[in-house]
Amino acid sequence: MSIVAKRLGRIKPSPTLAVIAKAKELKAAGRDVIGLGGGEPDFDTPDFVKEGAYAAIRSGQTKYTAVDGTPELKDAIIAKFKRDNGLTYARDQITVGNGGKQVLYNALMASVNEGDEVIIPAPYWVSYPDMTILAGGTPVFVECPQQDGFKLRPEVLEKAITPRTRWLILNSPSNPTGAAYTRSEIKALTDVLLKHPQVSLISDDIYEKIIYDRFEFFTPAQVEPELYDRTLTVNGVSKVYAMTGWRIGYAGGPRELIRAMTDIQSHSTSNASSISQAAALAALNGDEAFLAERNAAFRQRRDMVVEMLNAAAGLSCPKPEGAFYVYPSCAGCIGKKTPDGKVLETDGDFVNYLLESVGVACVQGAAFGLSPCFRISYATSTEALREACTRIQKACAALRP
Ligand SMILES: Cc1ncc(COP(=O)(O)O)c(C=O)c1O
């Protein structure tokens, strides 16, 4: 009998972390590898945020806090939701966890019964399906191909809903595609949900402020107030404030669900770090001016990467609205032969070929549920990106029919 529980047999380790580990291994062995696999900004946490943490340490904020977050941080989150999203929450509708990841995990564990269905538009963030499975639910994938801008269309959503559907998870701007929904695109989806009261909505807004070309961000509970009572709006400081290591995420939503999520957290991790909560408070209450410069840098990199990838034989790369990822199709490379005579059959073969032949680490589309594609994170220096794209062009040019 295995020491590991049966339910673990149904999930897989994070494939994005696996790529990062393989790239690190090759680097350690002396290979020249450019890693484009990671999902975190290369910028540092802003100084004013760090100051919040130093002050918390100095003033002795080093003990347990309320499981679901300090009152001060909750008030800052309430103010943020009001200011940015026009959403009104009371303190008992807010919960703070160790990253958006824990908040999402708590939400699914707190709400999904055995056999409940969770609709996950593909390509998706890698953790949604496995979290759903751990909670006893069944992920229902709906394909959102490149020609639909990688976005869920209302008629596709309608078809996927059954009496067992418990949640729809929307993520905009998206990891892995960078695609973001306009107000009217969200409205078309919330109109469908209005007809199905058994379905609640998780909106993962973690890339909310990493958007380009004057794109206007909206979140579903704001677009359709009638869905406010069955929407969990998830956000966090990891991406926007370059605070991935601090581990703070949060959500606003229905009281009963928030209470259940907090109960789960009370028996697993308890509160998120008191120091990190103080830093997140500084972030949310601070001046956002620093973001304009960072987003401008991200936008320049996005434009360069999209242009260079579209110039590579066999690749086609749409220009996304936000986040720091692009999700090119490598359909034109599938079925071709590498200089070593190996036929590329899948996007997994393709990213392996890139890593082994030119030392560029990306993640295969299969990891995100839509193939044949791959994800590039452009949250790295412009020089490294230019070099990586040049190498990708060379690798593509070396393929033979
Ligand atoms: C779509 C999406 N949601 C949630 C998270 C979780 O972020 P964190 O746990 O660092 O807040 C990530 C991080 O990669 C993400 O890409």
Q: Which range, of 15-24, 183-192, 338-347, 368-377, averages the lowest pLDDT? A: 15-24
Give the model's confidence band at 10: pLDDT under 50 very low, under 70 low, under 90 confident, else very high: confident
Task: Give residue 7's pLDDT.
Answer: 86
Distance of CA 370 to the CA centre of its chain: 15
Report the run of H or E that residue 360 belongs to, with start and end.
strand 360-361
Residue 294, judged by CB atoms within 10 A of its CB (0-12, 13-18, 19+), counts as buried
203-227 per-position pLDDT tens digit: 999 999 999 999 999 999 999 999 9
The answer to whether the CB of 125 is under 6 A from ligand 1 is yes
Q: Kindly state the DSSP code that residue 286 receives in the 8-state scheme.
A: S
Tens of pLDDT, residues 272-307: 999 999 999 999 999 999 999 999 999 999 999 999
Give the whole-angstrom CA distance, residue 298 versus residue 382. 9
Beta bridge partners of 119: 140, 168
For position 368, what pLDDT does the model report? 96
14 lines ligand 1 (CB under 6 A): no
Residue 20 has pLDDT above 80, yes or no: no
Q: How far is CA 327 from CA 142, 179, 251, 258, 370, in A?
A: 17, 9, 27, 34, 10
Q: How far is CA 165 from CA 111, 160, 201, in A?
A: 12, 8, 11
Quote the CA–CA distance of 252 and 21 in Å, as a whole number. Answer: 34
- Measured at the alpha carbon of residue 102, what is the angle toward residues 97 and 107, in degrees to the nearest 5? 95
What does DSSP say about strands 94-97 and 249-252: parallel, antiparallel, or unpaired? Answer: antiparallel
Do 20 and 37 contact (CB within 8 A), yes or no? yes
Q: Is the pLDDT confidence value at 19 over 80?
A: no
Report the 10 Å Cβ neighbour count for 267: 8
Question: What is the distance between the terminal CA atoms of the chain, rounded to a whole angstrom?
Answer: 49
Q: Does the structure show a pLDDT above 90 at 236? A: yes
Beta 200-204 vs 165-171: how paired, if at all? parallel
Q: Is 336 close to ligand 1, i.e. is its CB under 6 Å away?
A: no
Q: Reply yes or no: is the peptide bond before residue 123 cis, omega within 30 of 0.
A: yes
Pairing of strands 249-252, 231-236: antiparallel
Residue 126 confidence class, pLDDT cut points 50, 70, 90: very high
Q: What is the pLDDT of residue 80?
A: 98
- Encode burial over 167-190: b for 16+ CB neighbours within 10 A, e otherwise: bbbbbbbbbbbbbbbbeebbebbb
Mean pLDDT of the chain: 96
Compute the distance from residue 399 Cα to the ligand 1 centre, in Å. Answer: 35
Q: Is 178 in the pocket of ligand 1 (CB under 6 A)?
A: no
| 22 alpha carbon, distance to own chain's centre | 21
Ligand 1 pocket check for 238: Cβ under 6 Å: yes
**Average of pLDDT values for 337-353?**
96
Mean pLDDT, rounded, for 255-266: 98
Please write the tens of the pLDDT for every residue from 150-167. Answer: 999 999 999 999 999 999
Cα dihedral: 93, 243, 38, 33 (round 10): -170
Q: How far is the CA of 42 from the centre of ligand 1 (A)?
A: 15
Rounded Cα distance, 217 and 207, in Å:
10
Compute the distance between CA of residue 9 and CA of residue 246 in angstroms, rounded to an integer: 30
Q: Which of 16-25, 53-62, 132-141, 145-154 has the lowest mean pLDDT?
A: 16-25
Which ligand 1 atom lies nearest to the CA of residue 102? 9
Atom of ligand 1 nearest to the CA of 174: 1
User: Does the beta carbon of 100 lie inside 6 Å of ligand 1?
Assistant: yes
Integer Cα distance of 305 and 390 in angstroms: 10
| Residue of 19, 206, 243 best suited for mutating to test ligand 1, as the one with most atoms within 8 Å of CB | 206
Atom of ligand 1 nearest to the CA of 39: 14
Pocket test for ligand 1, best of 102, 105, 106, 175 (most atoms within 8 A of CB): 175
